[in-house]
Amino acid sequence: MIQLLNMDKQIDFFAIGDLVVDDFIRLKDAEATCDLDQENCKLCVRFGDKVPYEFHEVVYAVGNSANAAVSASRLGLVSALSGVVGNDDHGKNCMKALADNNILLDYIEIDPKLPTNYHYVLWYGPERTILVNHAPYERHFPKDMRAPKWIYLSSLGENTEEFHHEIATWLKEHPETKLAFQPGTFQIMLGSEKLKDIYELSDIFFCNVEEAQRILKIEELDPQKLMNALHNLGPKIIILTDGIKGAYAREEDGSMWFMPIYPHTPIDRTGAGDAFESTITSALAMGKTLEEALQWAPINAMSVTQFVGAQKGLISQEKIEEYLQKAPEDYRLKKLN
């Protein structure tokens, strides 16, 4: 039986978002087609035919926010997750997986009617295409909770616009809590105007280059211009990732940085972004500087890509320090202005 802790416990990292079950299907007979610049890639399988796969592997209690909560816990923080599961075996397995990772379960709700979110991950080479379906759970922010040090808000379903405003209202009443915002697909589709209060309350904001273009409704590719435009929406610190090219950061005073990836050969890139972004937030929660956090984050992201799924490769801060000690000479933070 899972034992719940009391709600007065001081939480360092409070993640909010949908949690899911990922069913990884390793495709055997497929191909990826890309533009000449390796952009706009598409996964192709034979239409109207039987397509063989190598194996499948089910991973419980994942999703942007769940991955972030586990990352924070393994880095040594008191971590909790606000999410919903169904009253089914998948939900029970998710609860056990979270408990095994020392996530506080007080804020996990069990929906009596709707099933636990279940996603299919089509895995080909190091990349994956995810078939998603989010149940329309009813969500409410726990207004009486003790203020955590950080809230990490990420992917939520399509019926949660009002829930976002509940979070914003609570944050305005508790300025001692900082907000990290990593928008998911629906939150980006909803638009920055409808989530204006969330953007303006964000102490740190994460997205990749393509997401930034969609949020801003522009085709700009220059990372520095994109970060300036995102900053104008309200967030204090901007982190802009660009896949294997590395990541960019803009501090509140306009200072900008570039951080390369930690050298590696990936097996599966699922969850690398979550590892990167949650590690930065966790490091800041520990009192690290943004510069230190940017050097930690690619290491945890690299480690995740060495395993199937988004959580198996998440490591401790001691392990991150080991990798830093043996990092190659060109693994260093670069000031851009």
The whole-angstrom separation of Cα 91 and Cα 282 is 27
Q: Which residues contact 182 (CB under 8 A, 6 or more apart)?
A: 64, 68, 152, 153, 154, 155, 205, 206, 207, 273, 274, 277
Question: Does 40 map to a domain?
Answer: no
Number of compact structural domains in the chain: 1
Question: Does 68 map to a domain?
Answer: yes
Residue 3: predicted pLDDT: 42
Q: Which residues pair with 219 in a beta bridge?
A: none
For the entire predicted model, the pTM comes to 0.91
Question: Does 134 map to a domain?
Answer: yes
Question: Does 39 map to a domain?
Answer: no
Q: What is the DSSP letter of 223?
A: H
Strand 256-259 versus strand 20-27 pairing type: unpaired
Per-residue pLDDT in tens (0 to 9) along the chain, 337 residues:
344 445 678 999 999 999 999 999 999 888 888 876 767 788 898 899 898 899 999 999 999 999 999 999 999 999 999 999 999 999 999 999 999 999 999 999 999 999 999 999 998 887 888 898 889 999 989 888 899 999 999 999 889 999 999 999 999 999 999 999 999 999 999 999 999 999 999 999 999 999 999 999 999 999 999 999 999 999 999 999 999 999 999 999 999 999 999 999 888 888 899 999 999 999 999 999 999 999 999 999 999 999 988 899 999 999 999 999 999 999 999 999 9
Residue 1: predicted pLDDT: 35
Cβ atoms of 115 and 135 within 8 Å: the answer is: yes
Closest to 168 measured CA to CA, from 199, 207, 136: 199
Question: Does 239 map to a domain?
Answer: yes
Question: Does 97 map to a domain?
Answer: yes
Residue 115 belongs to domain spanning? 13-30+50-335
Q: Give exposure, 44-70, as e/b (b: 16+ Cβ within 10 Å).
A: eeeeeeeeebeeeeebbbbbbbbbbbb
Looking at residue 168, which CATH number applies to its domain?
3.40.1190.20
One-letter amino acid for residue 137 of the chain: Y
Residue 304: predicted pLDDT: 96
Question: Does 330 map to a domain?
Answer: yes
Question: Does 148 map to a domain?
Answer: yes
What are the helix (H) ranges across 123-195? 161-173, 185-190
